A and B are shown apart, each in its own frame.
Chain A
Amino acid sequence: MSELTLERGLTAFLAEIDAPTAAYFSSCVHCGLCAEACLFYLETGDPQYTPIKKLEPLKWVWEQNFTLAGRIKKALGLSKPVTNEMLATWQELLYDSCSLCGRCSMVCPVGVDIAYLVRKTREGMVASGHAPEGLIEASRRAVQTGSPMGLQFPTLQAQIKRLEKEGSTQIPVDQTGADYLILLSSMEIISFPEYLGAVAKIFKQAGVRWTLSSVCFEATNAGIQIGSSDIARELVSRIVKAAEHLRVQYVIGPECGHAFTALRWEGPNLIGRPYPFKALHIIELLDQLRAEGRLKTTGKESDRLTLHDPCNLARKSGCIEPQRRLMGIVAENFVEMTEHGEFNWCCGAGGGVSSNERADALRMKAFRRKKAQIDEIQPNRVVTLCATCRTQLEEGIEEYKMDIPVIGLTELIAEHVIETDE
C-alpha cells in the first residue's frame, strides 16, 4: 500500500462514477429520510451520520466533472475541491459509522442506492490513504498470509486433525474432482471451530463429495470491506484459481456475510469473467440438500429461537427463505423479529466496522437497535449465519447483560442430523 496520494484517490473516485451514480446524485433532494433507516444515526442522534452526507467526496467529484454546471463552476474557480483534509474528516463517516447494511437504499424516496455509493466512495478513500488503520492491517495480512487474521494452513490442519480424532468424520483436503470446495473464515477457525465439524458431520450423512483447499481456505475478503478492488481481486482470484485447479462444480461460502458478497456478486466482476463454477452460501447448500431429501434430521429444539439475518445475505443477496426453511426442520418454537428478511436491522459490525478498533464504542451504541428487536420478542437464543454478526451479537449481548446465547445455524442443523454408521 505504497504511494497512496490524493491524486490517486481522485482518479479512483472518477473511475467509480457510472450512470446509476449520476442518476442517484441528480435525484437527492436532501430530505434526510435515509437517516431514519440508519442505526448509527438513530442510536446516536448525531446528524453527521446521515447516510447521504457520507458520500460528499464522491458527489463533489461527480458534480465538478460530470455536470455542465459543475464544470463551469470549477473552471471559474467557484467550487471547493476535494482535499486531504476533507477526506480525513470523512473517514469516520465512511468506515466507522457505516456497515454497508443497505437499509437506507431500501427506503430512500428517490431511490438512491446509498450503500452502493458508499462502497464506491471507499475506493477513493483507500487510494488516497484515508482508510482506517485496522482495515489496512487486515488487508495487508490477507494479501501476505491469505488470512486477515494472519492464520496459516498449519493452524487449520491442526484443527482438522483434532476434529478427525474427536469424531469419526474425515475432512478431505485437496481432493481433485470433488463437487464442492468449502471455504471458511478465519474467525470461524479461531472463534467457532465447531463450524467445520458441523459441516463435516452433515456432509457425511448427506453423502456430499467435498474438499477443502490447502492453498486457499479463506473466504473473507478484506478488499471488499476496505473498498479496494485491487486487493479484493487478488483475494478472489486465489479462490477461483483453487476452484479451477480442483475442478469443483460449486464453491461454498461459509457463515460470513461479506465473504458471500465478495464471492457471489463482486468476484466475477473483479476478475472480469463469469465463474466456471456456481457460488453458494453454506445455508443455500444445506437447503438444497434438505429439498433433495439428503438432509435427514431428528428432533427439534423446544426453546424460543429467533433468527438474525445478516444484511449481506438477506437484503443484499436475496437469501431469505433458505434459513427459514432450515429453522423449520429443527425448531418448533421459532419466532421472527418484527422487521426481518430484507428489512432486518443490521447488528452494527459489518462492512469492516468489526475490523476497525476505533469504531468499537460506536458499534456498541449501534447494537442497541438490534437489542431493542431482541428485547421485543424475548427469545431464549438467537440463531445467525455469519461469524461477524455472531461475534457482534455475542459482544453486544454481553455489553448489555442480556444473557442470551447465540448459535450458528449450521451447527444447529448438525446437532439434529441423524448419524448413520457406515
Chain B
Amino acid sequence: MEFLLWVRGPAFNLALTVFVLGMTVRLLEIFLLGRRPNYAEPRGPEFGPGMKTVLNRFAVDPGVFSRAPFNVVVGYLWHIGFLACLFLFIPHIELAHGTFGLSWPGLPNPLVDALAAVTLVSLVAVLIHRNRHPVMRYLTTREDTLVWIATFLPVLTGYLAYHRAINPYPVALGLHILSVELLMVLFPFTQLTHAFTVFIARWYNGAAFGRKGVQS
C-alpha cells in the first residue's frame, strides 16, 4: 500500500513535472530556431496546405502500402489500441475527471480489454518485424528498443492488473502507474516526442510544398 501511495503521490508529481517541463523545453528548442525569410515568390499559400498535410498523412501512400502492408497495418493497430486504452478506458477517464475535472464517454471494459490484447500482440509483432526487416534492423537504435519497452510496459501491467494476474492488487496497480511514469519521464528525451512534433513536422512539410503549389 505504501508503494502505491508513493507512485500515486511524489513519483507521479515528479514524472508529470519532468514530462511537462521537458516537453515545453523540447518545443521551445524547435520553435526558437525559426525559419529564414523566404524571398522566392510563392506559387501558393503555406497555412492551408500545411494543415491539409497534417491530416492527409494519416492515410498512407497506396504504393508504399502495397510494398509494406504489414508495417502499416500493425503500426495502425497498436497506435489505435494504445490510444483507446489510454483515453477510453473508463477508470482512466475517472482519473482524469478526478484530477482535472474533465470527462468524456469511454468504451465498455471488455472492448478495451480486447484492444489491450491486440495492442500487446501488435507491439510484439512490431518488435519482431523491427529485428527481421533489413531496413528496420538497419535503422534501429538502442533508443528505439528503450522506447518500445517504455510503451509496452504500461499496456502489459495494465492488462495484468485488470485481470488480477498480480497479487496483491495495489502492487499490480502501483507497477502499472510506475510504468506510465517511466514513459512520461522518457517522453521529452526520446523519439516519443513525435506524438507532439509529428503535427509540427507535417505542417512544415505541407507548407513548404504548398508554397511551391503542390499538396504534399
Contact = CB atoms under 8 A, between A and B. Distances in A.
Nearest to B205: A111
A229 B37 CA distance: 15
Interface string A12-36: 0000011111111011111111011
A68 B194 contact: no
Nearest to B37: A269
A260 B203 CA distance: 25
B158 interface: no
A87 to B, nearest CB: 19
Interface residues on B, range: 35 or more
A269 B38 contact: yes
B204 A111 contact: yes
Contacts of A317: 43, 212-214
A53 B205 contact: no
B189 A69 contact: yes
B75 A37 contact: no
B92 interface: no
B68 interface: yes
Contacts of B214: 314-318, 320, 342
B81 interface: no
Given A19-B31, A110-B194, A268 B205 contact: no
Nearest to A104: B64
B contact patch SS? helix
B135 A32 contact: yes
A106 B202 CA distance: 10
A266 B41 CA distance: 10
Nearest to A263: B40
Contacts of A23: 30, 197, 200-201, 204
B83 interface: no
Interface string B51-62: 001100100110
Contacts of B200: 23, 26-27
Contacts of B53: 111
B101 interface: no
Contacts, number: 187
Contact of B64 (A36, A271, A275): A36
A285 to B, nearest CB: 15
B204 A26 contact: no
B104 interface: no
Contact of A47 (B31, B36, B134, B206): B134
Contacts of A314: 214
A52 interface: yes
B20 interface: no
B35 A18 contact: yes
A27 B197 contact: yes
Contacts of A268: 38-41
B202 to A, nearest CB: 3
A128 interface: no
A52 B31 CA distance: 22
| Residue among A26, A111, A339 having the largest count of chain B Cβ atoms under 10 Å | A111
A26 B23 CA distance: 11
A48 B138 contact: yes
Contact of A278 (B32, B41, B61): B41
Contact of B208 (A20, A50, A110): A20
Interface string B179-216: 00000000011010110011011111110110011111
A400 interface: no
A18 B201 contact: no
A264 B40 contact: yes
Contacts of A48: 138
| Residue among A30, A50, A53 having the largest count of chain B Cβ atoms under 10 Å | A30
Interface in B1-52: 22, 25-26, 29-41, 43-44
Contact of A274 (B25, B41, B141): B41
B216 A105 contact: yes
Contact of A111 (B25, B36, B193, B202): B202
A33 B73 CA distance: 12
Given A33-B72, A106-B216, 13 more contacts: A22-B33, A26-B193, A30-B139, A32-B136, A33-B64, A33-B68, A37-B61, A69-B189, A107-B61, A110-B202, A265-B212, A269-B36, A317-B43
5 contacts: A27-B193, A110-B198, A265-B40, A273-B39, A274-B40
Interface of A: 17-24, 26-33, 35-37, 41-42, 45, 47-48, 50, 52-53, 66-69, 105-113, 116, 264-269, 271-275, 278-279, 314-320, 339, 342-343
